[in-house]
Amino acid sequence: MIDIKLLADIQGNWSEIEYGEGIIIHSGNFGFWDVETILNCDFNYLKQLISFSTIIPSNIVDEINEVILINQIPSQEVIQSMKNKILPYFEYLDNFKGFEKPVYTIFGPMDDPRIIRKIQTGQLVIPNLFLIDHLHNYIITQPNEPDIKIYGISGKFKFIKLFNNGDINEENDIMGYEGRYDNLISGEFGELWINLLQISEFYQSNYHNKSTINFFVCYNSIMKTPILEYLAMITNANFTVSSSLHFKFPIIGNEMSFLNSIENFKLKFSKFRIKFGEFFKIIQKDLISYCNNDEDLINNLEIGLEIFDKIPIINSNKIISLSLKDKISTNESISKINELYFENFYNLWHFNLCDFKINNEFNFLTLNLADGKVNLKNCNSFGFDFNFKIDNDTDDDDDFEMKEFKNRSRRGRGRGRGRGRAVRGRGFR
pLDDT tops 90 at residue 27 = yes
In a shared domain, residues 322 and 369:
no
In a shared domain, residues 164 and 234:
yes
Q: Flag whether 39 is in a domain.
A: no
- Our count of domains for the chain comes to 2
- At 316 the pLDDT is 67
Least confident of 133-147, 267-281, 380-394: 380-394
- At 287 the pLDDT is 85
Adjacent-strand bridge partners of 378: 366
Q: What pLDDT, in 10s, does the model give residues 81-124?
A: 999 999 999 999 888 889 989 999 999 999 999 999 999 989 99
Question: 368 Cβ partners below 8 Å, 6+ apart?
Answer: 1, 2, 3, 4, 374, 375, 376, 377
The dihedral over CA atoms of 199, 154, 37, 80, expressed in degrees to the nearest 10, equals: 90
In a shared domain, residues 375 and 300:
no
Surface-to-core class of residue 415, CB atoms within 10 Å of its CB (0-12 exposed, 13-18 middle, 19+ buried): exposed
Q: Flag whether 150 is in a domain.
A: yes
Q: Are 244 and 354 in contact (CB under 8 A)?
A: yes
pLDDT tops 80 at residue 411 = no
Q: What pLDDT, in 10s, does the model give residues 354-405?
A: 888 777 778 888 899 999 999 998 888 777 888 888 875 555 555 555 555 5
Higher pLDDT, 326 or 375: 375
Q: Flag whether 321 is in a domain.
A: yes
In a shared domain, residues 242 and 271:
no
- At 428 the pLDDT is 37
Q: 249, 247, 243: which is closest to 218 by C-alpha?
A: 243
Q: pLDDT class for 288, splitting at 50, 70, 90? A: confident
Least confident of 133-142, 297-306, 412-421: 412-421
Q: pLDDT class for 350, splitting at 50, 70, 90? A: very high
What CATH number is associated with residue 18? 3.60.21.10
In a shared domain, residues 243 and 282:
no
Higher pLDDT, 217 or 143: 217
In a shared domain, residues 113 and 223:
yes
In a shared domain, residues 239 and 114:
yes
- At 401 the pLDDT is 56
In a shared domain, residues 103 and 165:
yes
Q: 17, 30, 55: which is closest to 424 by C-alpha?
A: 55
- At 257 the pLDDT is 92
Q: Which domain holds residue 298?
A: 264-339
**Domain end residue (candidates: 278, 312, 339):** 339
Checking 236-239 for CB contacts under 8 A at 24+ apart, the result is: 236/209, 236/210, 237/209, 237/348, 238/213, 238/214, 238/347, 238/348, 238/349, 238/374, 239/213, 239/214, 239/215, 239/348, 239/349, 239/350, 239/351, 239/367, 239/374
- Per-residue pLDDT, averaged over 174-193, amounts to 68
Q: pLDDT class for 240, splitting at 50, 70, 90? A: very high
What CA–CA distance (Å, rounded) separates 54 from 360? Answer: 9
CA 1 from chain centre, in angstroms, equals 28
Q: What is the DSSP letter of 274?
A: H
Least confident of 44-53, 99-108, 170-179, 186-195: 170-179
In a shared domain, residues 229 and 136:
yes
Q: Flag whether 184 is in a domain.
A: yes
pLDDT tops 50 at residue 163 = yes
**Domain end residue (candidates: 339, 367, 392):** 339
CA 408 from chain centre, in angstroms, equals 32
In a shared domain, residues 153 and 203:
yes
In a shared domain, residues 335 and 300:
yes
Three-class secondary structure of residue 137 per DSSP:
coil
- At 196 the pLDDT is 92
Cα–Cα separations (whole angstroms), residue 384 to 28, 381, 409:
22, 9, 18
Higher pLDDT, 32 or 411: 32
- Per-residue pLDDT, averaged over 278-284, amounts to 89
Q: Flag whether 390 is in a domain.
A: no
Region at 404 (left for phi over 0; alpha for psi -120 to 50; beta for the rest): alpha
- At 404 the pLDDT is 54
Q: What pLDDT, in 10s, does the model give residues 38-76?
A: 999 999 899 888 888 889 998 898 888 888 887 778 888
pLDDT tops 70 at residue 413 = no
Q: Flag whether 149 is in a domain.
A: yes
The dihedral over CA atoms of 169, 172, 178, 181, expressed in degrees to the nearest 10, equals: -10
Cα–Cα separations (whole angstroms), residue 285 to 8, 227, 337:
40, 23, 29
- Average pLDDT of the chain, as a whole number: 83
Q: Are 78 and 67 in contact (CB under 8 A)?
A: yes
What CA–CA distance (Å, rounded) separates 53 from 236? Answer: 34
- Per-residue pLDDT, averaged over 315-323, amounts to 75
Q: Flag whether 69 is in a domain.
A: no
Q: Flag whether 317 is in a domain.
A: yes
- At 1 the pLDDT is 85
In a shared domain, residues 301 and 208:
no
- At 408 the pLDDT is 53
Q: pLDDT class for 329, splitting at 50, 70, 90? A: low
